[in-house]
Every structure is written in C-alpha cells, then in structure tokens.
Structure 1
Amino acid sequence: MRNLIAFFKRFQIFLVFVFLQVVALSAYVQYSDFARLQVFSSASMINGRIYTVRNSVTKHFNLEGTNRKLEWENARLRAKLKDSNYKIDRELVQIEDTSYHQQYLYLAATVINNTYDKRNNYMTIDIGKNHGIKKGWGVISSKGVVGIVHLVGESYAVVKTILSKNINVDVSMRDGGAFGLLKWDAINSKICQVSGISNDITIKKFTKVVTRGGSGIFPRGIPVGVITKRKSIEGKPLWDLQVRIAEDFRTIQHVYVIQNVMLDELRELEGKIPPDKEEEDL
C-alpha cells in the first residue's frame, strides 16, 4: 500500500496530465463529427486487421484438413472422367456417353518421403493395405504420371517413381498416336526419354506425351510431359526423344493411387497368349 501511495505521489503531475488529456480528447471526439468519424474509421481498420490475422491463423491450422478434403474430392471427380470408365455398348455410334462402367478408382495420398537424385528413386505415401492398396498399382499427381506401387505395408506404401531404371511406362504422342516406352537415364530429374518409336514417323518438338493405357496400370491420356529434343539414333531406324516431364519430384506433396478394377482380367487374358514359335526356337 505504501508503495502504491509513493508511486502516485511520484508521478502525480504526469497522471493528472494523462487524465486531463483523456478528458479533453473525449470531449473533442464527442462534440466534433470529423474527429468521431476518424476514430471510428481507425477502430474499424484495427479490428479488421485483427480479424484478418485471426482468420489467417485459423486457416493455417485447418489447412491440412481442408487439403485432405480437396484431395478426396479430386479423386472422386477423376473417377467420373470418361478415361476412367469402360464403355459397355460400342456397336452403335449413337449410343449415349452414359453407357460406361467404372474402370479406374483413385485414392488420395500424401508423400511423406521421397528421393529424386539416385539411380532408382522411391517415395513413401501414407496409405497401405489398410486402405486396399496393392503392389503394381499406378500412381499419378495432379500434374501427371508419378510411378508404380512397389512395396505395401499396413499403413504405408513405397512407390517406385518414373525416375528409375527400366520402369518402362507405355506412352504415346497425343498427336499422331505413335507409342513407345518411357525410360530415365539418371542424368536430369526433369528429363526422361522415350524409346521404340521409328524415325520414319514425324515427331515434332513440343509434342505432348501421355500414357497409352496398354498395360492397364494407368488410364489412357494421363500427362507425362512434352518433347524437348529429338534426334535419330545412329545405325538404328529409331528416334532418340527427350521428354521434359510434367511433375517436379523435388516438390511433390500429394498423389493419387489408381486401381484398375479390370486389371486382373486383362492380365489373365493376355497370359493366355501363346508364345511366338520363333522365340521358342531361340
């Protein structure tokens, strides 16, 4: 109590000054329309900034949940695309486009670890057997092809990306339809190669490369990249094509795992194809 009294005695002049200033300002604001308007405008601006900051903080902490909802919504919409469905009745041209059965399903996942600078590169995603994932399923992102599921645990899976040796994704030129295999020479994480296309087929620079869909792992038409360089292979009637891939594996965060519900049927049927006699003789 003594300290409080001593404080008031020590600063009594300053406290009286502050009190009189408050009284004067209050009277000024109360009887002056201009001053009152300025005070209210300033208060509104300060409150607006406070609410903006609070909203930004709230959105930040809710961002993960919001992103997950958007991923599942994107997966649901992807499953409705025509390339994700199988047309049942193909006999008549006038058959309506609604005559489709679901062929591809999509499951959203988050990348929790990945590499891009090794000879064979892998990424770990946060879904596994508990979510129905199986080895051999395709993986894409919102930008394009990513890889193929290589190992599956209960809650996680490991994906072998296209930045690997002999992953051999079947691709085609969007214009013209020429097809080959996507490979990677381990030099540049943004550049892959397409092999197996005859050099008597016209391939233009900047031609878009997409999945062919022949293996059943990926739907037809998923973006892969664009042709940035082409030259004939010396001594062979083939193109050496360089593709700038659509996905940047240095920053990838979210992917979709693809299930082809008809894949087992496709592989069983193709497994019944008899071997070539010439191959048997070798």
Structure 2
Amino acid sequence: MIGNSLRWELNAFVGFIERQKNLYRRYWLWEAVWLLYNLVSVLSIGYLAAGLSTLGLEPGQANLHQTQLYLLVGALLWTYLSLVFFEIAFAITWERWEGTIEYTFMAPIKRLTHLLGMSAASLIYGIARTVAIGFALIFFFNLDLSHANWLTALAIFAAATLPLLGLGIFTSVLPLLSPEKGEQMAFAVQGVLLLISGVYYPISVLPAPLHFVGILSPLTYTLSGVRESLLHGLSLAGALPDIGILLLMGVILVPASVWCFNRAEVRAKRLGLLKRSG
C-alpha cells in the first residue's frame, strides 16, 4: 500500500516536471526573449565595469578586472537565483494562465508533490539558462577564473537550493490569495532581495537596518560564498559556515512555506479565489 502511494506521488512529481517542460516548449519564443533580456542585463553590468576606466575611477588594470569579475559573477548568480525564485513563485500564475488550477488543486496528490515538482522543473530550467549565459560571457569577456574552486561553488549552490525553494513557495502564496495584485507583489519581493542580498555590492555598505535584514537573507550567503570560491578559491572547509547557515535556513523555510501554502490554499478555496483571474 505504501509502495503504491509512493509510486503514485513519484509519477505525479515527474508529471509536473514534464508539464512544465511542455509549457516552456510551447512558449519557446517568449522564453528566448527572456533569455536575451537576461543576457543583455548581465552584459550591461560587465561593460559598466569595463567603462569605469574611461571615467578615471579605476587607476589600476588589476582592480578594474577584479571589479568586473565581481559584478559579472553577481549578475550571473542573480540571474539564476531570481529566475528560479520567479518560476516557483509564479507556479500559481502558470496554473491560472493554462486554466488548470482547479484540476491541479482537486487532484488526489499531496500538495508537497505539486510544489516540489514545480520547483524541480524551475531548478533544471534555471541551471540550463544560466549555463547558456555563462558561455556567452566567456565569449564577450576575458574572464580569469583560474583560481576558482568549482567544488566549493557547487556545494554552496546545492545548500542554497532549499532556502531558495522556501522563499519561492512563500511568494507563490501571493498570487494564490490575490489574483489581482499577487504577481506585482512577487516583483516587489524580488526588488527587496536585490537590495539587501549584496548582488552588486557587499552588504556592509548598507545602513544598519538594511544590513541586519541582509544578514537574514539566504541569498546573501549564497552570493558571497560562491563569489569567494570562484574569485579567490575558497576551500570547502572555509565555506562550511555559509553552507551550514544555508542548510539551517532551508530546514526552517521549506516546511514553514509549505505549511503557509496549505493554509492559503484552504482560504483560497473557501473564498473562491482559485477560479478568479482578476
């Protein structure tokens, strides 16, 4: 009995990944536009650093190159993190667009299976797009990553997966409860994360209140840890504090976000919010 139940949930999990893949395939042209937008955004940050020398703001070529690497790594990481965050947060929006939200929420599967399936599809898609942009950066810029410790970077990425999923699931509650303004609020959450997480600058430059909030953001530890491993060869042992913090945040955020989503689902069904699209 338990084996049949697990097999049923596993099939549903794979089914959600397959469905999301088909959606990406159906809207491939729009996905190509967003890929181009992400690429242009990252390139703009890279050329911003390159242009500092023309303004007389960077006296040394070594400093200029280090600044460019710092900003490019931050921009590339933010592209991945924000993409995964949005794909998870917009899971409910996808359901409404496709007209499947009522079927999905009435299906005899656990909500955790649904959320994890959507999250897994988002992670796979986010990695693929980030790798594509990374290869483009190698073509456009002379990146020196000879000191990079890729094992440490991958370990930090893996540890960051859980809290990132938790944040995405938390934010997906907004479109569920507010069909009219939930999507816009997801953009607002992204803006706050961009401000406090040290994407383009260390959080030490932030005012004390924002600095404190930045310490609570899992993206802060992801960005700083991956930067250190790629730019300065941070060892795996040296990254253990950041990895431990990320895992702890994940253990807290994922169950809390799933519980919050379940409560929001009950409220949405009671108020008839599932069928509404605006």
TM-score (norm 1): 0.20
More helix by share: 2
Report which of the two has the higher share of strand: 1
User: 1 or 2 for the larger relative contact order (CA 8 Å, sep ≥6)?
Assistant: 2
Structure with greater Cα Rg: 1
TM superposition score normalised by structure 2: 0.21
